[in-house]
Amino acid sequence: MPTARDALLDAALRALADRPWRTVRMVDVAALAGVSRQTLYNEFGTKGGLATALLRQAADGYLTGVDRALTAPEPEHPAAVARWTVRAAGADPLVKGLLTGLWGEGLPRPGRDVPGPAELLGLARDRMVAASRPMSPVHCERALRLALSYVVVPCPPGGDRTQWAEPDSWSPITPMITNEIDTSFSVETTSPRKIMP
């Protein structure tokens, strides 16, 4: 059952969907949630506190999705997390901002209590490493960076889609990532730096 805090965050997201964050008023969020403005202030303190809670909720939702993606068969982990990353960033501008550091006009800006791109991707990478033994952090990070490249430069609308991977049809990406990982393992183990003193 949703809590009062959940209802307030949902109301804030609905307000943000209708107008830029700078014009969202606490009284409007309280009215959308059906509570008094004082209840909203008691829960979040300030509008900045509400923004932090919204961004932390988006970060937590992204990481929950990473955990769900990691329930795929182990060889599919990198592709499953890459797909989820693209979908999550495409569906939620807050997640996109958290992952890329690119904040659209009208979105709340993160404070120091919100993970930045490096920290959030590091958390996702660490979860991948823990679930995908013996995959190294470097290989997991490469899968995330590949996904982020699509997030930052997606297929243009109406563009030649034969040259761009679609998030819903990423099954070809699995062999590509697997090949990249295999190549990386091979390079890592035969590198002269590993042999030379």
Q: What is the pLDDT of residues 100-134, one digit of tens each?
A: 998 888 899 888 889 999 999 999 999 998 887 76
* Local confidence band at 187 (pLDDT 50, 70, 90 cut-offs): very low
CATH code assigned to 1-45: 1.10.10.60
pLDDT at 173 over 60: no
1 or 13: which leads in pLDDT? 13
Q: Which pLDDT tens digit goes with each residue over 73-87?
A: 877 888 889 999 999
Domain ranges in the chain are 1-45, 54-154+165-177
Q: What is the pLDDT of residue 176?
A: 54
Residue 77 has a pLDDT of 82
Q: Each residue of 53-74: pLDDT tens digit? A: 999 999 999 999 999 999 988 7
Question: Contacts for 4-12 with beta carbons within 8 Å, 24 or more apart?
Answer: 4/33, 4/35, 4/39, 4/43, 5/43, 5/53, 7/33, 7/34, 7/35, 8/33, 8/35, 8/39, 8/40, 8/43, 8/44, 8/50, 9/53, 9/54, 9/57, 12/50, 12/54
pLDDT band at residue 161, thresholds of 50, 70 and 90?
A: low
Confidence category of residue 166, pLDDT binned at 50, 70, 90: very low
